[in-house]
A and B are shown apart, each in its own frame.
Chain A
């Protein structure tokens, strides 16, 4: 394990109102409001994927690839660098990216019979479809990892990517989460009894990470540094707030901070952008999803982007908590 600083050098964003960081800034800083159900003609408006063969690819996969290409482009990692590279990792933190495809595949097998399902659709039913397709499309041979951490999924993928960078398993890491909400997602959210998630948008977020040395090697400008990363599961009688308290205390060992950017279905019923909670005096809480729109697995990414845009001399904490009591927290500067 090396002691290299891990920095963010690229970013990507996709939402109903538009794609790219300019849109995120409009939505977050200028408070532009876009209905979560705003129609989208394509999840790859840049056309990175071309047009051939896309009918066999799931929407979440298209969005993931778009985010990954945005991340590579904004980091200045050119195609001749990433193609056939073993040193760039792809990390996907989506939770239910394959849900619609999995439902339709099984419905077809059940109702019409096994002989009538399309084998071409089979890969879309698996949760590793997005990152593995991006690897195939871009010919990236490095680590290719999918995780499913619910609302903490994006930060969980970031966790593994950071670990791989620290151990030198990869030089650059592209992290994204991209759940495209379908009516099947709505059924899941209804079953979770999460009023806020029912309002979810199909939002995707991506980041490019590198060690400071590798960032310098390609003249990439660090956007922020990852100072610490911790995670926890609620035990015994712990509530989500107890887990939040535990993680903030763990992060405070690394540095003093005041601003906390919250995300996820574990806390979605908290009221507004600048929420406050008894026992947490001294922190300034921000809840960007109340402005940007609710997302499931990408929610930690929304909070991360918002924290990066915060003008502050102090580090900021980003915390995503899933309804099940699992949380990941990151400290950035």
Chain B
């Protein structure tokens, strides 16, 4: 078995568009949730919130102006991750470097741009060539292929649109691709730009809070739609060591499952989530007691949080209250396909700094959960973290859990 390590990270998020801004804000317990500004709030009833990325036009590469904002975010995060890893780009030589982007909405904003610019209700069936050219830019493959082309990556690239679990899917797939010897370097993560459709979906499903996101709180009332991108450089350990790269964490394994319960609601007993966690631990050759930090999916909706609490209880049993659980969506909002990638980056930083960000807004953990959760309310926690479980659950029942480990701590037992 190869060992797969993380050697670089890049961030575009509601808490800042670089790794240090993002991490510092998380540790300080700052919130990226604001009033909705990217859509007319009058179209929605209530106190409409959003976790939006501050993205000036100057951030957009000139040759990609007409592409999706998701492409812009993914490229920026990938470039940051490569810089952080000390890998030059565009890659100057023939290479098999790979890129995998998880997403919920892909380039949906292009569809909406086409509608906003060219839709004429009097001539619904007429689309100019100009409109068609713009519309063709919404093909999902462009999200990975354009970034790969910009970086001159010659290996595989793919878009994994498994909704809100997509970032973890990308990390898991990258792990398997390197294990299989297909490539030594994969830039993997997630990207989603703010769209009218995504916001409207959660609005119509009644999933959004009008107060604040309070993961696992007894008074939790919903999630906040966000956007962003998180990209990680996953690398074959031998490749990383050979070039003297700094190693931030190790990817130990992952588990996939399908809820197969309902099109828009999770299994209320958390069976699907428990299956994925169990598989992730098995794949990582770890036991539940090895996990000392849980990065929860924790959307702050009544349905998600209770099923996740039940799933965690099935795996960790009475030890669950002793394991810190972070709910980063309280600060980041739910950044869709980017969410679990951003959470994986935060988990990697926790393993490096031995600090976990707090869960903001949560005051009283729901007493109806099987066990009380230690959600680290209010303040960041300094503690020895060796293994982090990161959960991600998507619309349609797509589930992926990933286990990350402190690189040095995993080296010691093998050396012994």
A145-B260 Cα distance, complex, nearest whole Å: 13
Q: Is the CB of B129 within 8 A of A190?
A: yes
Q: Is the CB of B148 within 8 A of A156?
A: no
Q: Is the CB of A90 within 8 A of B258?
A: yes
Q: Is the CB of B159 within 8 A of A128?
A: no
A140-B258 Cα distance, complex, nearest whole Å: 7
Q: Is B141 an interface residue (CB 8 A)?
A: yes
**For residues 89 through 146 of chain A, which have their beta carbon under 8 Å from a beta carbon of chain B?**
89-90, 95-96, 99, 102-103, 105-107, 109-111, 113-115, 117-119, 122-123, 125-129, 131-133, 135-136, 138-146
Q: Is A163 an interface residue (CB 8 A)?
A: yes
Selected from B180, B263, B398, the residue in CB contact (under 8 A) with A166 is B180
As a 0/1 sequence over residues 288 to 315 of chain B, the CB contacts with chain A under 8 angstroms (1 = contact) are 0000000000000000000000000000
Given contacts A106-B197, A159-B156, A233-B155, contact A139 B260 (CB under 8 A): yes
Q: Which of B20-28, B112-120, B370-378 contacts A (4 or more CB under 8 A)?
A: B112-120
Q: Is A253 an interface residue (CB 8 A)?
A: no
Q: Is B149 an interface residue (CB 8 A)?
A: yes
Q: Is B239 an interface residue (CB 8 A)?
A: no
Q: Is the CB of B260 within 8 A of A135?
A: yes
Q: Is B264 an interface residue (CB 8 A)?
A: yes
Q: Which of B75-83, B132-140, B225-233 contacts A (4 or more CB under 8 A)?
A: B132-140
**For residues 164 through 212 of chain B, which have their beta carbon under 8 Å from a beta carbon of chain A?**
169, 173, 176-177, 179-180, 182, 195-197, 199-201, 203-205
Q: Is A322 an interface residue (CB 8 A)?
A: yes
Q: Is the CB of B156 within 8 A of A233?
A: yes
Tell me the smallest distance from the CB of A268 to a CB of chain B, in Å. 15
**For residues 144 through 158 of chain A, which have their beta carbon under 8 Å from a beta carbon of chain B?**
144-150, 152-153, 156
A118-B142 Cα distance, complex, nearest whole Å: 29
Tell me the smallest distance from the CB of A210 to a CB of chain B, in Å. 18
Q: Is the CB of B141 within 8 A of A326?
A: yes
Q: Which of B4-12, B351-359, B389-397, B404-412 contacts A (4 or more CB under 8 A)?
A: B389-397
Provide the residues of chain B in CB contact with A138, threshold 8 Å: 260
Provide the residues of chain A in CB contact with B137, threshold 8 Å: 191
**For residues 308 through 346 of chain B, which have their beta carbon under 8 Å from a beta carbon of chain A?**
none
Q: Which of B52-60, B103-111, B242-250, B361-369 contacts A (4 or more CB under 8 A)?
A: B103-111
Provide the residues of chain B in CB contact with A111, threshold 8 Å: 121
A188 nearest CB neighbor, chain B only = B136
Provide the residues of chain B in CB contact with A328, threshold 8 Å: 156
Tell me the smallest distance from the CB of A127 to a CB of chain B, in Å. 4
A150-B333 Cα distance, complex, nearest whole Å: 31
Q: Is the CB of B397 within 8 A of A109?
A: no
Tell me the smallest distance from the CB of A281 to a CB of chain B, in Å. 24
A139-B121 Cα distance, complex, nearest whole Å: 42
Tell me the smallest distance from the CB of B160 to a CB of chain A, in Å. 6
Given contacts A150-B139, A191-B132, contact A128 B261 (CB under 8 A): no
Given contacts A110-B115, A115-B45, A233-B149, contact A149 B108 (CB under 8 A): no
Q: Is A49 an interface residue (CB 8 A)?
A: no
A117-B263 Cα distance, complex, nearest whole Å: 17
Provide the residues of chain B in CB contact with A146, threshold 8 Å: 160-162, 398
Q: Is A160 an interface residue (CB 8 A)?
A: yes
Q: Is A239 an interface residue (CB 8 A)?
A: no
A1-B182 Cα distance, complex, nearest whole Å: 13
Provide the residues of chain B in CB contact with A160, threshold 8 Å: 173
Q: Is the CB of B264 within 8 A of A122?
A: yes
Tell me the smallest distance from the CB of B229 to a CB of chain A, in Å. 17
Provide the residues of chain B in CB contact with A230, threshold 8 Å: 182
Q: Is A192 an interface residue (CB 8 A)?
A: yes
Given contacts A117-B200, A132-B397, contact A233 B148 (CB under 8 A): yes
- The residue among A89, A189, A235 with the most chain B CB atoms within 10 A of its own CB is A235
Tell me the smallest distance from the CB of A178 to a CB of chain B, in Å. 15
Q: Is A324 an interface residue (CB 8 A)?
A: yes
Q: Is the CB of A150 within 8 A of B141?
A: yes
Selected from B125, B134, B161, B264, the residue in CB contact (under 8 A) with A191 is B134
Provide the residues of chain A in CB contact with B388, threshold 8 Å: none
Q: Is the CB of A141 within 8 A of B197?
A: no
Q: Is A23 an interface residue (CB 8 A)?
A: no
Q: Is B131 an interface residue (CB 8 A)?
A: yes
Q: Is the CB of A1 within 8 A of B179?
A: yes
Tell me the smallest distance from the CB of A22 to a CB of chain B, in Å. 31
Given contacts A125-B201, A191-B136, A236-B152, contact A1 B180 (CB under 8 A): yes
A143-B173 Cα distance, complex, nearest whole Å: 12
Given contacts A95-B139, A232-B155, contact A128 B394 (CB under 8 A): yes
Q: Is B272 an interface residue (CB 8 A)?
A: yes
Provide the residues of chain B in CB contact with A118, threshold 8 Å: 204
Q: Which positions in B face A, CB cutoff 8 Å? A: 1, 43-45, 91, 94-96, 104-106, 108, 111-112, 115-116, 119, 121, 125, 127, 129, 131-142, 145-146, 148-149, 152-163, 169, 173, 176-177, 179-180, 182, 195-197, 199-201, 203-205, 256-264, 272, 275, 279, 283, 394-398
Closest 3 CB pairs of A and B: A191-B136, A132-B396, A127-B161
A–B complex contacts, Cβ < 8 Å, 23 sampled: A99-B111, A102-B111, A106-B196, A119-B264, A122-B264, A125-B201, A126-B161, A132-B395, A136-B260, A139-B260, A141-B275, A144-B397, A147-B159, A163-B173, A167-B179, A169-B279, A169-B283, A187-B127, A192-B139, A231-B156, A233-B149, A236-B152, A322-B145
Q: Which positions in A face B, CB cutoff 8 Å? A: 1, 86, 89-90, 95-96, 99, 102-103, 105-107, 109-111, 113-115, 117-119, 122-123, 125-129, 131-133, 135-136, 138-150, 152-153, 156, 159-160, 163-164, 166-167, 169, 183-184, 187-192, 230-236, 322, 324-326, 328
Task: Give me 15 other A-B pairs in contact (C-beta within 8 A), A164-B176, A326-B145 excluded.
Answer: A102-B108, A106-B195, A110-B116, A113-B43, A129-B396, A135-B258, A138-B260, A147-B160, A148-B139, A153-B141, A232-B154, A235-B95, A235-B152, A235-B154, A324-B146
